[in-house]
Structure 1
Amino acid sequence: MTVVVHADATVLAEAVAARLLVKLIDAQAVHGGAHAVLTGGRVAAAVYRAVLASPARAAVDWSRVDLWWGDERFLPSGDPDRNETQARAALLDALPLDPARVHPMPPADGPDGADPELAARRYAGELAAAGDGRLPRFDVLLLGVGEDGHVASVFPGFPVADGLVGAVTDSPKPPPVRTTLTPAAINTADEVWLIAAGADKAEAVGTALTSGGLPAATVHGTSRTLWLLDAAAASRVPAPDRVPTR
């Protein structure tokens, strides 16, 4: 595990965007394609905007990138609060992606109607189909960190669903109904990046990194786990654990 601290949220977003582009380029060089798992939230939207603004985005063959989501608010398609909607507005609609390789979690007005359990099972099936019966090879999986230490829609004190994709019907953070990858799925990714900015994240980040006991402390990549923070979010992380940057 590596903790990288950037000066502020703007620098953090630009640095994560640069890392993401390099990771996709490297994955395509090795595997021919790349699979990335997206997240939502204000920092993620800033990262996506920074990717769009970077000239290096032209080095990625976007037609050979598969995009997945770590969790989703179970709302109708196009709802502005859906992570998919936010990612499309910030980045995806401007990229030459293959639509068949963009894999949003089912919406509440999708083929399963308003049943999040069926939607979760449908997404698990889509993952299995792309991975020849297993999960696809996730080259990089992005996660925000909540003020309570949650990641994706895995919340402290709430049971984790069985399997790889679960339905959440009583989220402590609105909206209450969501679908999410479980830690069992998250922890198959080659690299897991936990991204946090702001003083409101400092307590959760510090606790996860020093004491554990939060969902953010239970996730990891198979080859690399990065905590990518701004200085405010890292204010309770012991200095010896940090890799400071300008």
Structure 2
Amino acid sequence: MTSEILISPEPQALIDTALALIVERILTAVGERQSCAIALSGGSTPQPLYAALAGADLPWQQIHIFWGDERYVPAEHPDSNYGMAKQVWLDLVPIPPANIHPMPTDLTEPQLAAAEYERQITTYFVPATGAIPVFDIILLGIGDDGHTASLFPHTAALTVVDRLVTIGDKDGQPRITFTFPLINQARSVIFLISGTSKQAALAEIFAPMGDLAAYPARGVRPQGELLWLLDAAAGEQLGSGT
């Protein structure tokens, strides 16, 4: 794993940096492997990034979009990560509908949805027996509590190592989420983090002897690269480096 912290002076510069890095990695993946599989995060921070990607000149026929986590709500619900990306990005570009892979939150039970999404991922990648699929890009954020995806502090999802997708628990509300084994197989994991409210969690995430159960983002250690993209408000107590 290679790890790097990049701090932008303000939020728009953060989005500009993220856009350039993601476009570069999409084009590299398509050039090397004829396709790019990217998993999106939710929340307010990446929304302007997705809007910017809508204006990018990209090989849409060769890009496949997945989600790293999702609230268990219908696609048209205002809290839907899929719905947000669809509205500001995916509806605005000529990406084939078959290339968009939302989490199936319309099933009767979250457990069924997690198993179905794992099946869809495995089918897309067709990995060797026992191999974990390798996403080209996984986008993540963190919460003020140090969670990432829907891997929340002191929850059962943190210990799942035999599944690619599992159930996250946010105050008793189920969510669907990638597990650490799937996240950590990625070629590139990119965190996008903004705001002073993230400073305390970042300090614990980067602490030499921190607690993964209390700050789950500590568990993200991909086999490829790990990029922490922060604005100055979030990264005030951190320096840039590798």
Flag whether TM exceeds 0.5 (same fold).
Answer: yes
| TM-superposed deviation, 1:135 | 4.5
Aligned residue number for residue 73 of structure 2:
75
SS of the residue aligned with 1:151? coil
2:16 to 14, 17, 24: 14
| TM-superposed deviation, 1:223 | 1.8
Q: Is the 8 A contact 1:206 1:234 kept in 2?
A: no
Query: 1:1-246 maps to which residues of 2 (within 5 A)?
Result: 1-53=3-55, 57-58=56-57, 60-107=58-105, 110=106, 112-113=107-108, 115-133=109-127, 134-160=131-157, 161=160, 162-168=162-168, 170-172=169-171, 176-211=173-208, 212-213=210-211, 214-237=215-238, 239=239, 242-243=240-241
| TM-superposed deviation, 1:101 | 1.4
| TM-superposed deviation, 1:76 | 1.5
CA distance in 2, matches of 1:220, 1:95: 32
Q: Is the 8 A contact 1:116 1:179 kept in 2?
A: yes
Q: Is the 8 A contact 1:191 1:220 kept in 2?
A: no
CA distance in 2, matches of 1:78, 1:136: 29
Unaligned runs of 5+ in 2: none
Mean Cα deviation higher: 7-16 or 126-135: 126-135
Counterpart code for 1:184: P
CA distance in 1, matches of 2:125, 2:174: 27
CA deviation string 1:106-165 (max 9, x = no partner): 12xx2x22x000000000000111111455431110001110110000011112245110
Aligned length: 229
Q: Is the 8 A contact 2:185 2:224 kept in 1?
A: no
Q: Is the 8 A contact 2:133 2:182 kept in 1?
A: no
| TM-superposed deviation, 1:77 | 2.5
Q: Is the 8 A contact 1:142 1:194 kept in 2?
A: yes
| TM-superposed deviation, 1:207 | 1.3
Counterpart code for 1:81: D
CA distance in 2, matches of 1:200, 1:12: 16
| TM-superposed deviation, 1:236 | 2.2
Unaligned runs of 5+ in 1: none
The normalised TM-score by structure 1 is: 0.89
Counterpart code for 2:235: A
CA distance in 1, matches of 2:91, 2:134: 24
